[in-house]
Amino acid sequence: MGAIDLSRLVAIEGFNFPLYASPGAEARARAVGERAERAIAWLTGILGPAPTPAAFVVGPGEWPGVTELPIYGLPHVDRMDDGSVGDLHWKMVMGAEPGGFWRDVYAFIWTHLDPEGQADVRGAYGDADGFSACFPDLIVVHELAHLFQGEHGPAELDGAAPDRYFPRQWVSELFANLALYGYLAEVEPSELQTLETICLGAGRVPRSETPVRALDDMYRSLEFQNGAVLYCWYQFLLIMGAKRIWQRVGRDGLRSYYQTLNRPDMSDDDILQALERIDPEARRLVREWPE
Ligand SMILES: [Zn+2]
C-alpha cells in the first residue's frame, strides 16, 4: 500500500509515540494511547527497549488507507516502511468502532456455552456490542508485545513471516498473551474478568466447529471461511494457557520465555525443552492442547 494519508486523520498530542485518530474518535484514541503508554513502560521494564510505533485508532472509512488487513477492528502491529510517519518502522492499528467481526467471535463462543457460561458472559459484557466495545482494547497490549520480538533485527521480519522471529506462530502468540496477561494482572487487575470470561468459553467449542485445531496449524486458520473467528478461538485458548504459566512464573518467566524462544530456528524438541525449563506448566499446555 502507499503511504498513509495523515491529512484524513487527527493527530493526538501528549503521548510518547505518534497517535492518530479518525475525526470523532479522539477521546477513544486517548484512552487507547494511555493504556498503550502504560503497557510499553511495563514491557520495557521487563524486556528492555522496543521500537516506537505510530498508533492509529480509526473508523471503517479510514481503515483501508491505514492497513492492508481486511478484517475491520482486529488490532494488529505491522511494518511501515513507507515513511508515513517520520522514520518509524512500525504501526499499531485498531478500530475506533466495535467491529462486526468481534460480534461474530462473541456469537461463535456464545452458541457453545451452557446456561451458566452464558450468564457469566452476559454478566461480563452485557451483549455482543458490549463485548466488542471493550475486549479489543485489551488486545492492544498483546500487539505491543509483538513489537519487542522485532527488536533483534526488524528487517528480517519484513513480509509475510507469520511467526515474527519466534519458531512457530503459536509460540509467538503465546508470548504476546503471556505479556498481556501479566500486564493486566500487575497493572490493571480489574480488567482480568473482561479478558478471561470469553476465553473460558473457547474450551467448549466442539471439534466439529474447528476445521483445524492443532497448535502448529494456527497459521492456517485464516485460510478457512470464518477464519478470523477461528484464529480468535486459538488466541483464547492460548490466553488461558498464558494465565496458567503467569500464575506460576510471573515476570521472570516472561523474560526467560522472551530470551530463550525468540529464535526462528528451533526444532519441536528445542521448543518443548525450552518450555519445560521455563515451567512444566508451559510444556503441559502443549501436551494437553485439545487437538
Ligand atoms: Zn499476536
Q: What is the pLDDT of residue 110?
A: 97
At 138-158, the pLDDT tens digits run: 999 999 999 888 654 344 544
Q: What is the pLDDT of residue 153?
A: 39
Q: What is the pLDDT of residue 240?
A: 96
At 207-240, the pLDDT tens digits run: 999 999 999 999 898 888 888 999 999 999 999 9
CB 155: neighbour CB atoms within 10 A? Answer: 9
C-alpha cell at 158: 519484513
Alpha helices in the chain (DSSP H): 26-47, 63-66, 100-110, 115-125, 128-149, 169-187, 192-202, 227-261, 268-278, 280-287
Please tell me the distance between residue 108's alpha carbon and the centre of ligand 1 in angstroms: 20
**Sequence-ordered list of residues with C-beta below 8 angstroms from that of 45, at least 6 positions apart, any chain:** none
Please tell me the distance between residue 144's alpha carbon and the centre of ligand 1 in angstroms: 9
Q: Are 48 and 259 in contact (CB under 8 A)?
A: no
**pTM as predicted:** 0.94
Q: Are 205 and 109 in contact (CB under 8 A)?
A: yes
Q: What is the pLDDT of residue 162?
A: 35
Q: What's the whole-number average pLDDT of the chain?
A: 92
**Sequence-ordered list of residues with C-beta below 8 angstroms from that of 277, at least 6 positions apart, any chain:** 256, 260
Per-domain residue ranges for the chain? 6-287
Please tell me the distance between residue 115's alpha carbon and the centre of ligand 1 in angstroms: 31
Q: What is the pLDDT of residue 151?
A: 57
Please tell me the distance between residue 156's alpha carbon and the centre of ligand 1 in angstroms: 18
Q: Which residues surround ligand 1, an ion (CB under 5 A)?
A: 173, 176
Please tell me the distance between residue 110's alpha carbon and the centre of ligand 1 in angstroms: 23
Segments of the chain scoring below 70 in pLDDT:
150-164
Q: Is the CATH number 1.10.390 carried by domain 6-287?
A: yes
Please tell me the distance between residue 173's alpha carbon and the centre of ligand 1 in angstroms: 5
